[in-house]
Copies of this chain bind each other. A is one copy, B any other.
């Protein structure tokens, strides 16, 4: 019996190590994607093509991490047949990696706008740079908090992240309105201002993905799928499922 128990313990330790490992890879991917967004915004604001090209090249590494993490998840499901919270962890990781990959895509899109804007010798017409920096910081913060919430299984932080997305949406809508006005007043700025609009749109999408990640944390910890719950009802629903 002792022998069998120690074998079981060995298997269980290996299994835990595998779960830890895939979770760490996900957080590593999250860190990389966070950097990609930060650099992409910086390249746009400081008209730095070199930095933008770095972001575009870096997307390959993001994509590789996604594929590796999905492979690790499949392998764990096939070999370990996890149940309950372990299964939820693997499924949440498999969903979160998709969101992280899409955030990486948005970083590339912003970087491509940066390259284009430098090529076209654009000015800072439209001057939505303040808004881009502000919303950029806001969604980077959301992303970091959603990943921290994942790392610490912190439901409160996850709930706050989902709610923060609403502020981003309203900041985004207001920035877009002022850009439309700007374009109308000076149609010569249409080209560069559109570029800024696309970048703002990308940042708004990053906020959505960070919010998705936070929702997966809530699912993981509480077994509660809140993906389509209105932010107003979210706190109450989470409190009902301790």
Interface positions of A (Cβ within 8 A of B): 60, 63-64, 66-67, 70-71, 73-74, 77-78, 81, 83-84, 87-88, 91, 94-95, 98, 180, 183-184, 187, 190-191, 194, 201, 225, 227-228
A17 to chain B, nearest CB (A): 20
What is the bound-complex CA distance between A62 and B171, given in angstroms? 28
Interface pair A87/B74, CB less than 8 Å apart: yes
Interface pair B194/A190, CB less than 8 Å apart: no
Work out how many copies of this chain go into the complex.
Answer: 2
What is the bound-complex CA distance between A74 and B71, given in angstroms? 18
A109 to chain B, nearest CB (A): 11
Out of B78, B83, B88, B190, name the residue touching A184 (CB < 8 Å).
B190
Residue of chain B at shortest CB distance from A186: B187
A234 to chain B, nearest CB (A): 15
Q: Which residues of B contact A81 (CB under 8 A)?
A: 81
Q: Which residues of B contact A191 (CB under 8 A)?
A: 180, 184
Residue of chain B at shortest CB distance from A84: B78
